[in-house]
Amino acid sequence: MEKRKLYDHFIEVQGHSIHYLSNTYESAVDTESTRPLLVFLHGFPENAHAWEGLIAHLPKRFDVVAPDLPGYYKSEPLSSIEDYSVPMLLTRIAAFVELVGRKRQVVLVGHDWGGAIAWPLAAFHSQLFSKLIIMNAAHPSTFTSLLKTSRTQRLKSQYIHQLIADDAHETLIQSDFSLLRNMLGDALFSSDKRYADTLVSGWKDSNTLKAMLNYYKNMPQAIPFTDADDNELAALRVPNIRIVIPTLVLWGKNDDAFDVSILDGLPNYVEELTVHQHNEATHWIHREQAQWAAGHINKFVV
């Protein structure tokens, strides 16, 4: 399918520039419009262009906004490492949504790190959103619970230790970003060279790469090692992140980062929940199964 025309915009949020893609030529979204407005938050190590394939399958009656997360690709790196803590990111992205949404109710869509932000953003700023859509991004509460009880999940999360290591920045550069390339899979770099080039361009910017790693370095809790002892696991505190708006979860079962049982506890935290799983999809469901995902999003948003 031909990709939908998206326009580049920049907006200043709390003293830093955020780049975003939108289907509207004007930077301000129409405040009087009754068209659904979807805001897409991408994950690590991607950028806003990750959503183009999915957006191409959405009805043209949807308005879309897809930012580069703060510090990623064309969005300006933040001033300090503390600015990448989850509470600070929530405040900044809520301000971004208020600016681009202009008092319209927004459907929030998140994948991976974008989803890790979207869960608490919808919980603590629910007045900004009408609905929440999550794609292969663990709810903070069920993720922490599973880290405490599941060796399989702890094993799947060990890659994070490579990303928070003191030499992570240098190691990624010296290896030509082999860890990031392996995460995304070789097929991406041959099948969508234009998008892959935007990724590598961002990674090669030292300040951008450091910003991307700062998300992991500011995770609320440390990731335990696979065979952590009982005391270390007991120290993990399960947050109480409750979602009161209608929520759709789209999940690729073959996810290398999350065990599928991470979905089991969601009804304890999400009041109105719909889950659709795809048997063949991996963590990158938004790109691998763009048409399937768009179909479910269209039915959910209507």
CATH of the domain at 194: 3.40.50.1820
Which tens digit of pLDDT belongs to each residue from 249-262?
Answer: 999 999 999 999 99
- Cβ–Cβ under 8 Å, residues 260 and 277: yes
CB atoms within 10 A of CB 184: 18
How many domains does the structure of the chain reveal?
A: 1
Q: Alpha helix locations (H) across the chain?
A: 52-56, 86-101, 113-124, 140-149, 151-156, 159-164, 168-174, 178-184, 186-191, 193-203, 206-217, 230-234, 285-288, 290-301
Considering the domain boundaries, does residue 11 fall inside one? Answer: yes
pLDDT at residue 1 in the model: 57
Query: What is the DSSP secondary structure assignment for residue 1, as one 8-state letter?
Result: -
Residues of the chain with pLDDT under 70: 1-3, 27-32
pLDDT at residue 29 in the model: 56
Which SS3 state, helix, strand or coil, does residue 267 take? Answer: helix
Considering the domain boundaries, does residue 25 fall inside one? Answer: yes
Considering the domain boundaries, does residue 182 fall inside one? Answer: yes
pLDDT at residue 24 in the model: 87
- Cβ–Cβ under 8 Å, residues 21 and 77: no
Query: What is the DSSP secondary structure assignment for residue 243, as one 8-state letter?
Result: B
Considering the domain boundaries, does residue 1 fall inside one? Answer: no
Q: Find the domain containing 163 and state its range.
A: 7-301
Considering the domain boundaries, does residue 2 fall inside one? Answer: no
N-terminal to C-terminal alpha carbon distance within the chain: 22
pLDDT at residue 27 in the model: 65
Considering the domain boundaries, does residue 47 fall inside one? Answer: yes
